[in-house]
């Protein structure tokens, strides 16, 4: 969290008020604790990118099977990456009823699922779905009122101002794809499991 203090000092020197609606961080308990101490009333969310990194590190023992795109283990593991696009209250049911119920009979897959349950899926998990699930929580643009301050200290704290740049064609296409799939699911043209599997293939 040391990188945050120069930013806050710069904001203060510009007479700006730093009052974000929410804060997006990675999956580090220490970071969560520090932010909660500094901003106790501001919601903290974790991003899908870091969730994917964390899960990928845990499936290294299954990397050979993961790369076999037509294997049952690969299909199962890849589909799990669609869970962040569900509403938080739908994640646990989807994991238990849509995935664990069809889990490949492999002790390594079972161990990975137990890790997911304890770390991310259950409400008592270290990082429960309420802080990482649902599309609207995945990207939080930096408020324009502090963009100038962030740019001023960008080289010191290594922040890339992606949110101030126009969205790329690929990003726009992915967002449209996701919105289309959400509409199909909400209109019951595809079921929950189909939705998760289909969005996981795109992201």
Q: Which domain holds residue 153?
A: 1-47+132-165
Provide the pLDDT for residue 12: 67
In a domain, 6, yes or no: yes
Structure tokens at 6: 């120069």
* 28 and 73 both lie in a single domain: no
pLDDT category at 145 given cuts 50, 70, 90 is very low
85-94: pLDDT as tens digits: 999 999 999 9
Domain count along the chain: 2
* 82 and 144 both lie in a single domain: no
In a domain, 8, yes or no: yes
In a domain, 56, yes or no: no
Provide the pLDDT for residue 150: 47
Q: Look up tokens 């996981």; give the residue.
A: 200
* 139 and 176 both lie in a single domain: no
In a domain, 63, yes or no: no
pLDDT higher than threshold 90 for residue 115: yes
User: Who wins on pLDDT, 168 or 86?
Assistant: 86
In a domain, 149, yes or no: yes
In a domain, 58, yes or no: no
47 neighbors 138 (Cβ within 8 angstroms): yes
In a domain, 52, yes or no: no
* 31 and 2 both lie in a single domain: yes
68-110: pLDDT as tens digits: 988 999 999 999 999 999 999 999 999 999 999 999 999 999 9
Q: What is the mean pLDDT of residues 20-46?
A: 83
Q: What is the mean pLDDT of residues 134-150?
A: 48
* 108 and 140 both lie in a single domain: no
Provide the pLDDT for residue 139: 40
pLDDT higher than threshold 50 for residue 169: yes
Distance from C-alpha of 72 to C-alpha of 106, rounded to nearest angstrom: 11
Q: What is the mean pLDDT of residues 185-194?
A: 96
* 95 and 147 both lie in a single domain: no
* 151 and 188 both lie in a single domain: no
77 neighbors 59 (Cβ within 8 angstroms): yes
* 90 and 176 both lie in a single domain: yes
pLDDT higher than threshold 50 for residue 157: no
Provide the pLDDT for residue 170: 84
pLDDT higher than threshold 60 for residue 13: yes
Distance from C-alpha of 22 to C-alpha of 165, rounded to nearest angstrom: 20
* 157 and 190 both lie in a single domain: no
Nearest 5°: phi and psi at 23? -130, 135
* 103 and 36 both lie in a single domain: no
pLDDT category at 5 given cuts 50, 70, 90 is low
Report the candidate in 15, 16, 26, 19 with the shortest Cα–Cα distance to residue 41: 19
Residue 102: other Cβ atoms inside 10 A:
12
* 80 and 137 both lie in a single domain: no
Q: What is the mean pLDDT of residues 23-50?
A: 83
Mean pLDDT of the chain: 81
From start to end of 7-159, where are the E strands?
A: 23-25, 44-46
pLDDT higher than threshold 50 for residue 146: no
* 161 and 174 both lie in a single domain: no
pLDDT category at 1 given cuts 50, 70, 90 is low
Q: What is the mean pLDDT of residues 160-168?
A: 58
In a domain, 33, yes or no: yes
């Amino acid at each position: 969290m040391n990188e945050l203090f120069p930013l806050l000092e710069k904001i203060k020197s510009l007479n700006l008020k730093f009052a974000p609606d929410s804060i997006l961080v990675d999956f580090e308990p220490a970071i969560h604790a520090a932010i909660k101490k500094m901003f106790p009333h501001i919601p903290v969310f974790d991003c899908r990118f870091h969730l994917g990194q964390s899960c990928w590190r845990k499936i290294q023992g299954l990397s050979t099977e993961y790369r076999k795109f037509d294997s049952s283990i690969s299909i199962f593991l890849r589909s799990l990456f669609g869970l962040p696009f569900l509403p938080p209250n739908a994640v646990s049911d989807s994991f238990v009823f849509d995935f664990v119920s069809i889990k490949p009979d492999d002790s390594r897959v079972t161990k990975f699922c137990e890790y997911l349950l304890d770390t991310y899926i259950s409400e008592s998990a270290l990082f429960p779905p309420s802080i990482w699930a649902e599309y609207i929580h995945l990207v939080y643009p930096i408020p324009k009122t502090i963009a100038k301050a962030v740019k001023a200290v960008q080289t010191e704290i290594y922040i890339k101002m992606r949110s101030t740049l126009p969205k790329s064609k690929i990003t726009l296409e992915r967002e449209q794809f996701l919105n289309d799939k959400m509409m199909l699911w909400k209109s019951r043209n595809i079921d929950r499991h189909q939705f998760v599997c289909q969005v996981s293939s795109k992201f």
